[in-house]
């Protein structure tokens, strides 16, 4: 015997239960585990407190806070790292976390913070990130890989960033030559054993004897490791000395011992 099908009144289907507007709306799920990346090209006395990196991070944190589909999984920072290559500890850590699936969204202040090399930066944005299903956002550039048409804008901005680096390099070389011509010191970092007075280097009387002893021991045949051992017995290392020069206290857990790399730097950078 044929079974009768139940007749449904499609006109009055809402009478079968509560209206859609009365049903509870589920909260929007968080989709993106976000990594925030900030980079500072050079750490100088002017930005010694690293406020530039903190400014970048504050911007990125506020950007994420205004969105309900993101949570900050981790923050990555590179200080005194050029944008012309990607051999940076913070960036490499971020890439490893991406490969391990710990993050699926990367946010930077602008495209130049990711990198200033047109080819390599474009390769990450166009190939690497999409391969791993990672969303990439450059806040102040208004770039979001989830938005259609962004692939047309990104190459142009990357080209501009690379041109900026080349122009900046040319200007810096010109400025350095002008300083050298006048016998002036053009670098920001002063080698251990010297002080910078009006762009001229003079021996630092407080550690001049230490530098002279390092050279004397080396000329007498001592190895760099042996020299470092001797210096550790009576002198704090250059990093600790720099902290004292700028009025900072040396933390109790700070390593003040010398190593052979420091000795080698002094011997080859004099």
Give the pLDDT band of residue 190 (cuts 50, 70, 90). confident
Contacts of 253 (CB under 8 A, 6+ apart): none
Q: Does residue 142 belong to any structural domain of this protein?
A: yes
Do residue 145 and residue 218 come from a single domain?
A: no
pLDDT in tens, 74-96: 999 998 888 778 889 999 999 99
List, for residues 128-149, the tens digit of each pLDDT value. Answer: 999 999 999 999 888 898 887 6
- What is the number of structural domains in the chain? 2
Assess whether 198 and 263 both reside in one domain: yes
222 located within any domain: yes
Residues 202 and 96 in one domain: no
Domain boundary among 162, 179, 207: 162
Phi and psi (nearest 5°) for 108? -130, 165
Kindly give the pairing relationship between strand 135-138 and strand 143-144: antiparallel
In the predicted model, what is the mean pLDDT of residues 226-233?
Answer: 93
Out of 114, 143, 162, a domain closes at: 162
Q: In angstroms, rounded to a whole number, what is the distance separating the alpha carbons of residues 139 and 141?
A: 5
Residue 57's CB: how many other CB atoms inside 10 A?
19
Helical H runs in 182-251?
Answer: 208-219, 224-234, 238-245
Q: Do the domain assignments include residue 187?
A: no
In a domain, 17, yes or no: no
pLDDT (mean) for 96-101: 95
Average pLDDT of the residues of the chain: 79
Kindly report which listed range (3-17, 39-53, 198-212) carries the lowest average pLDDT score.
Answer: 3-17
Q: Which residues pair with 197 in a beta bridge?
A: 200
158 with 228, same domain: the answer is no
Tokens of 71: 């949570």
Q: Computed from CA positions of residues 63, 67, 72, 73, in that sequence, does the dihedral angle turn out positive or negative?
A: negative
Average pLDDT over residues 220-228: 93
Nearest to 49 by CA among 74, 76, 79, 75: 79
The stretch 174-178 carries a mean pLDDT of 63
Cα 175 from Cα 179, distance rounded (Å): 6
Higher pLDDT, 221 or 189: 221
The answer to whether residue 232 is domain-embedded is yes
Determine the pLDDT at residue 49.
43
Q: Are residues 219 and 150 in the same domain?
A: no
The verdict on 64 and 131 lying in the same domain is: yes
User: How confident is the model at residue 133, as a pLDDT?
Assistant: 94
Q: What is the pLDDT of residue 231?
A: 93
45 and 122, same structural domain?
A: yes
Same-domain check for residues 261 and 198:
yes
Per-residue pLDDT of 24-35, as tens digits, reads: 544 555 689 999
Secondary structure class of 138 (helix, strand, coil): strand
Does residue 20 sit within a domain? no
pLDDT at 24: 53
Dihedral angle sign, alpha carbons of residues 6, 9, 10, 16 = negative
- Sequence-ordered alpha helix ranges (H) in the chain: 51-65, 89-99, 111-114, 118-123, 129-131, 150-181, 208-219, 224-234, 238-245, 260-268
Same domain? 207 vs 151: no
Q: Is residue 86 part of a domain?
A: yes
Q: Would residue 111 count as lying in a domain?
A: yes
Domain that holds residue 204: 194-268
Residues 136 and 240 both lie in one domain: no
Question: Would the pTM of this model clear 0.85, i.e. be above it?
Answer: no
Residues 145 and 208 in one domain: no
Q: Are residues 199 and 145 in the same domain?
A: no
CATH number of the domain at 53, please. 3.40.50.1390
Q: Which residues share a beta bridge with 269?
A: none
Residue 15 has pLDDT above 50, yes or no: no
């Amino acid at each position: 015997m044929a079974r009768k099908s139940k007749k449904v009144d499609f006109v009055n289907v809402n009478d079968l239960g509560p209206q859609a507007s009365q049903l509870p709306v589920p909260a929007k799920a968080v989709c993106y585990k976000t990594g925030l990346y900030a980079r500072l090209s050079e750490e100088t006395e002017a930005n010694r407190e690293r406020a530039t990196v903190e400014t970048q991070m504050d911007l990125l944190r506020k950007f994420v806070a205004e969105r309900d589909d993101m949570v900050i999984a981790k923050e990555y920072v590179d200080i005194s790292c050029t944008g012309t290559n990607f051999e940076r500890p913070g960036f490499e850590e971020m890439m490893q976390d991406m490969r391990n699936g710990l993050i699926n969204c990367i946010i930077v202040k602008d495209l130049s913070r990711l990198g200033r090399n047109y080819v390599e930066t474009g390769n990450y944005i166009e190939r690497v990130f999409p391969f791993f299903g990672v969303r990439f956002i450059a806040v102040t550039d208004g770039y979001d890989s989830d938005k259609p048409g962004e692939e047309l804008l990104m190459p142009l901005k990357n080209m501009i960033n690379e041109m900026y680096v080349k122009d900046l390099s040319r200007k810096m070389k010109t400025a350095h030559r002008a300083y050298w011509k006048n016998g002036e010191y053009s670098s920001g970092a002063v080698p251990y054993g010297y002080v910078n007075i009006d762009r001229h280097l003079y021996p630092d009387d407080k550690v001049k004897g230490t530098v002279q002893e390092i050279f004397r021991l080396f000329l007498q045949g001592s190895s760099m490791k042996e020299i470092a051992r001797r210096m550790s017995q009576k002198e704090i290392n250059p990093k600790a000395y720099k902290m004292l020069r700028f009025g900072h206290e040396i933390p109790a857990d700070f390593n003040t011992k010398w190593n052979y790399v420091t000795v080698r730097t002094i011997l080859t950078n004099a």
